[in-house]
Amino acid sequence: MGDWVGQAADLLRPITDAMAKAALSAHRIHTDDTGIPIQAPGTTHKGHVWVYVADDDHVLFRYTTRRKSDGPREFLRGYTGYVQADAPNLYDRLFGESAEGAATEVGCWAHARRRFVEARVADKERALIGLGFIKKLYEADRVAQKLAPARRTAERHRLASPVLDAFKAWLDAEALVVLPKAPIADAIGYARNQWSALTRFVDDARLKLDNNDAERQLRRVALGRKNWLFAGSEEGAERACILYSLIASCKMHGVNPFDYLRDVLMRVRVHPARDVLALAPKGWKQLPKNSDAAQLPAA
């Protein structure tokens, strides 16, 4: 069965390669990573799986042997849109005016909020004030999202900008009086250091306040670790990422993964290579029904 899965992944690889190429045209890409054990003689070693969520079109998983900037830098080479990540410095070379990349960083308010939650034990009053400001930002966003797309950016800016101005003034004032090593100082410092990236959402309603899209996609890998414990090899991890990409993208587009995989595996032998992106879950929904696949018995 493992060999069957591997052979299927090899047949499907051109589809995920086409999805990855198409992702570079996305307006925004959410990304995150997690570690997975890889089987080795007598032990395991740690590899890493990265996820890239391109707008509401594609979900891509990629495996690398190490948690280094090489992974996202290679995947996002030439990308000039918005990258929403959780602020580790391994993404820094993607941003700015360097020759390696000119993507624009978007911060994650969920990570900023988490630090204020953790600070409640030591400084409840200040932590709750910080959480209150962040809550108002999410409330403003919910109001804006109910409007027509053309009006969302202006309304988000109108509602969120005063909150951000007041929050920044409060952060700057409190940074002068909190103890440097206190948890609340860490929360305040994170927000101030990431302020430009955290406030970028206010001028573009297509951007999101947090990176939860990527974190939710990585849960399938975290759940898998409890079941399959480790990947059998580096190649096995790469093949798993191909299938993760397609199944996650199926879920994004409301496609039944079994129906999709059964149909696509029947199509790949005759489908023109120049139009391989049509076999991605987003495009597959528009294809005419494959009568050969429909005649196969259900599992």
- C-alpha 227/C-alpha 234 separation (Å) is 18
**Residue 34's domain is classified under what CATH number?**
3.30.420
pLDDT at 98 over 80: no
If asked whether residues 218 and 94 sit together in one domain, one would say: yes
Range of the domain at 64: 2-104+212-253
Q: Is residue 34, in this structure, part of any structural domain at all?
A: yes
How does pLDDT run across 210-248, given as a tens digit for each residue?
Answer: 999 999 999 988 888 878 888 888 898 999 999 999 999
* Integer CA distances (angstroms), 149 to 17, 140, 202, 250, 281, in order: 31, 15, 14, 25, 25
Give the pLDDT of residue 97. Answer: 47
If asked whether residues 100 and 112 sit together in one domain, one would say: no
Q: Is residue 268, in this structure, part of any structural domain at all?
A: no
Give the pLDDT of residue 77. Answer: 87
If asked whether residues 51 and 73 sit together in one domain, one would say: yes
Q: Is residue 63, in this structure, part of any structural domain at all?
A: yes
If asked whether residues 79 and 216 sit together in one domain, one would say: yes
250 DSSP β-pair partners: none
Average pLDDT for residues 269-290, to the nearest whole number? Answer: 88
Q: Is residue 74, in this structure, part of any structural domain at all?
A: yes
If asked whether residues 22 and 82 sit together in one domain, one would say: yes
If asked whether residues 48 and 186 sit together in one domain, one would say: no
If asked whether residues 172 and 221 sit together in one domain, one would say: no
Report phi then psi at 204, rounded to 5. Answer: -155, 105
If asked whether residues 22 and 91 sit together in one domain, one would say: yes
Residue 101 binned pLDDT confidence (cut-offs 50, 70, 90): low
Q: Is residue 195, in this structure, part of any structural domain at all?
A: yes
If asked whether residues 8 and 76 sit together in one domain, one would say: yes
If asked whether residues 83 and 226 sit together in one domain, one would say: yes
Residue 299 binned pLDDT confidence (cut-offs 50, 70, 90): very low
Residue 280 binned pLDDT confidence (cut-offs 50, 70, 90): very high
If asked whether residues 16 and 57 sit together in one domain, one would say: yes
If asked whether residues 156 and 25 sit together in one domain, one would say: no
How does pLDDT run across 18-70, given as a tens digit for each residue?
Answer: 999 999 999 999 999 999 889 888 888 889 999 999 999 999 999 998 887 77
Alpha helices for the chain (secondary structure H): 2-23, 70-75, 109-118, 124-145, 149-175, 183-193, 195-198, 212-228, 234-252, 257-267, 281-284, 291-294
What is the end-to-end Cα distance of the chain in Å, rounded? Answer: 14
Q: Where a domain ends, among 168, 186, 203?
A: 203
Q: Is residue 164, in this structure, part of any structural domain at all?
A: yes
Q: Is residue 175, in this structure, part of any structural domain at all?
A: yes
Across the chain, mean pLDDT equals: 89
Considering the entire predicted model, what is its pTM? 0.89
Q: Is residue 72, in this structure, part of any structural domain at all?
A: yes
Total structural domains within the chain:
2
